[in-house]
């Protein structure tokens, strides 16, 4: 009787192996479900980013407000007849300023060509 029970448990274990660890087993299914959930979350983030970019492109195509805003903040441009005012925080620590670049000596025509011109001898 004991031998039959051992054989039965052994057969049961052999049947369970492909179910849990085989090619289409539960462990792989769980892993694939985790990967699918991660891919869906990544896709949702990319969809949100694309929606923001699409709205920004549409705004740039139709209105001048966004173009003006970009010119002001990214390029530091101002409109004609505007006055630029910058308010500095007195409590902020200013980084040490770099020394000014050395003054460049004016170049003479001979220094532009790299050689002195001598009068021709006849």
pLDDT tens readout for residues 46-61: 999 999 999 988 887 8
Q: Which residues contact 24 (CB under 8 A, 6 or more apart)?
A: 18
Total count of domains within the chain: 1
Residue 100 tokens, joined? 């000014």
- Calculate what percentage of the chain has a pLDDT beyond 90: 21
Q: Within a domain: residue 115?
A: no
Per-residue pLDDT tens for 74-94?
888 888 888 878 788 888 766
Any domain includes 104:
no
Q: Which residue intervals of 1-122 are DSSP H helices?
A: 2-21, 26-62, 65-75, 109-113
101 in a structural domain: no
Q: What is the pTM of this model?
A: 0.43
In degrees, rounded to 5, the angle at the alpha carbon of residue 83 between the alpha carbons of residues 82 and 86 is: 135
Per-residue tokens: 40: 């869906």
């Amino acid at each position: 009787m004991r031998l039959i029970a051992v054989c039965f448990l052994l057969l049961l274990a052999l049947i369970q192996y492909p179910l849990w660890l085989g090619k289409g087993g539960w462990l792989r299914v769980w892993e694939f479900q985790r990967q699918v959930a991660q891919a869906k979350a990544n896709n949702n983030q990319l969809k949100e980013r694309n929606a923001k970019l699409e709205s920004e492109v549409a705004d740039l195509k139709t209105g001048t407000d966004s173009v003006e805003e970009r010119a002001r903040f990214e390029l530091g441009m101002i409109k004609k007849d505007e006055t630029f005012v910058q308010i500095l925080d007195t409590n902020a620590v200013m980084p040490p300023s770099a020394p000014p670049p050395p003054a460049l000596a004016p170049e003479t025509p001979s220094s532009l060509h790299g050689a002195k011109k001598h009068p021709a001898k006849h």
